[in-house]
């Protein structure tokens, strides 16, 4: 029994650790939400035009969406906290009621009277209770269970005494059987209480672990959308972990740290120079880019500077070539656009000529019709005159 009580203490400590981690994430999110609100207020103060406000509307919705999600998470967290107090409080009342009826221990009864916890009301499922109160309530439950274990141990010792007296010939069989039943009931009741609180620990751990995963996902999504810290993190090997916003020249240049510091890892330098030589050197026979393997253990600062300067020059050449290619591409695009415009003009002129030809054909046909009408009228007038 004592081992189970010790396990209960460890389990509750784990629950407390998970809850503290969740609380830290809440505090961190609150700081970021306040930072977003300050950003928005600064934008509004300096830009009061209608178009500027229209442009800031999307940012306002982004901040509001984070607020809604944060409030929802906070409501779930308070509900879990409320449920923890509910289950511990109800179990505490059941244990206290059992002790008052079964165990006649004045010290234990005095201990129960001193501790007055806030009454839990089922009609207030969102009421917030201090976690310090929950910790104190849980500790009192374990103290009561420990006292029941001590009382049970005393009863078991007395039961053995009564069994010994029964064996010497005293007619106390029914008394011994009744006492055995009482001891068994107390032991089973104690096991039931321990099982209750173990089940509560299982539930609370599951709730908090799932909630911790959700709020960590929320924090990750916010970090992916908004870069609050624009600094570039560099690890011990000078490898970039965040390259967003860095100029291409900086990315191509390996001199990100202070090259005046003397390198301490020659093996690392050897691999670095080998990879650089393979990348930039035209052939392995070029002495300007290759560092012999026998010299890797004794590399001075001048060699490092010369190697990095050659790398920088190659990088600049690559960048300039890329800029020339872009310029040539832009000139080609301009020529293509001019040719396309000429073709469009030619097509327009062709369409105009075709329309003029169609009009001329229509005029010719109308002239022919008029001539025929005139001829017919002449014939009619001649007949009339005759």
**Mean per-residue pLDDT pooled into runs of 10, the chain (386 residues):** 90 95 93 88 80 83 91 94 96 93 83 86 89 94 93 92 87 90 94 96 96 94 79 37 36 35 42 43 42 42 54 56 52 69 73 76 79 76 67
254/205 same-domain check: no
Q: Could you tell me how far CA 350 lies from the centroid of its own chain?
A: 63
Per-residue CA distances from 381 to 374, 375, 377, 378, 384 (Å): 11, 10, 6, 5, 5
Residue 295 forms part of a structural domain: yes
120: left (phi over 0), alpha (psi -120 to 50) or beta: beta
For 220, the token pair is: 């990750």
What pTM was estimated for this model as a whole?
A: 0.57
Residue 375 forms part of a structural domain: no
How far apart CA 281 and CA 314 sit, in angstroms, is 9
At 310 the pLDDT is: 57
Per-residue CA distances from 179 to 150, 158, 192 (Å): 17, 9, 20
269/177 same-domain check: no
At 313 the pLDDT is: 61
Q: Tell which residue, 122, 118, 108, 89, has the closest CA to residue 197.
A: 89
Residue 45 forms part of a structural domain: yes
Number of domains within the chain: 2
How far apart CA 337 and CA 331 sit, in angstroms, is 10
195/253 same-domain check: no
Place of tokens 């020339």: 324
Q: Which domain holds residue 327?
A: 248-338
């Amino acid at each position: 029994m004592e081992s189970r009580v010790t396990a209960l203490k460890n389990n509750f400590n784990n629950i407390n650790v998970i809850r503290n981690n969740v609380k830290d994430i809440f505090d961190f999110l609150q700081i970021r939400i306040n930072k977003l609100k300050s950003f928005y207020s600064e934008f509004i103060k300096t830009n009061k035009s209608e178009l500027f406000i229209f442009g800031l509307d999307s940012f306002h919705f982004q901040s509001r969406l984070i607020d809604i999600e944060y409030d929802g998470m906070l409501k779930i967290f308070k509900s879990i906290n409320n449920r923890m107090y509910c289950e511990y409080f109800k179990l505490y009342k059941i244990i206290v009621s059992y002790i008052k009826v079964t165990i006649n221990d004045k010290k234990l009864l005095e201990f129960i009277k001193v501790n007055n916890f806030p009454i839990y009301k089922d009609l207030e499922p969102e009421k917030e209770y201090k976690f310090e109160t929950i910790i104190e309530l849980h500790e009192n439950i374990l103290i009561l269970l420990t006292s029941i274990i001590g009382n049970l141990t005393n009863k078991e010792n007395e039961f053995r005494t009564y069994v010994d007296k029964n064996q010497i010939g005293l007619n106390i069989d029914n008394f011994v059987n009744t006492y055995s039943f009482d001891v068994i009931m107390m032991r089973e009741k104690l096991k039931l209480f321990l099982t209750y609180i173990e089940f509560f620990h299982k539930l609370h751990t599951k709730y908090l672990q799932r909630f911790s995963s959700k709020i960590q996902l929320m924090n990750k999504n916010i970090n992916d959308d908004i870069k609050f810290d624009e600094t570039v993190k560099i690890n011990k090997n000078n490898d970039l972990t965040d390259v967003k916003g860095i100029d291409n020249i900086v990315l191509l240049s390996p001199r990100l740290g202070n090259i005046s510091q003397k390198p301490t890892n020659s093996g690392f330098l050897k691999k670095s120079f080998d990879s650089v030589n393979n990348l930039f050197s035209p052939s392995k026979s070029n002495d300007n880019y290759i560092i012999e393997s026998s010299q890797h253990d004794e590399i001075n600062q001048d060699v490092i500077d010369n190697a990095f300067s050659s790398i920088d020059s190659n990088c600049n050449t690559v960048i300039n070539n890329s800029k020339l290619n872009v310029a040539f591409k832009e000139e080609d695009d301009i020529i293509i656009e001019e040719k396309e415009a000429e073709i469009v003009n030619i097509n327009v002129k062709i369409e105009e000529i075709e329309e003029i030809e169609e009009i001329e054909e229509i005029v010719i046909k109308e002239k022919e019709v008029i001539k025929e009408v005139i001829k017919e009228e002449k014939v009619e007038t001649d007949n009339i005159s005759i």
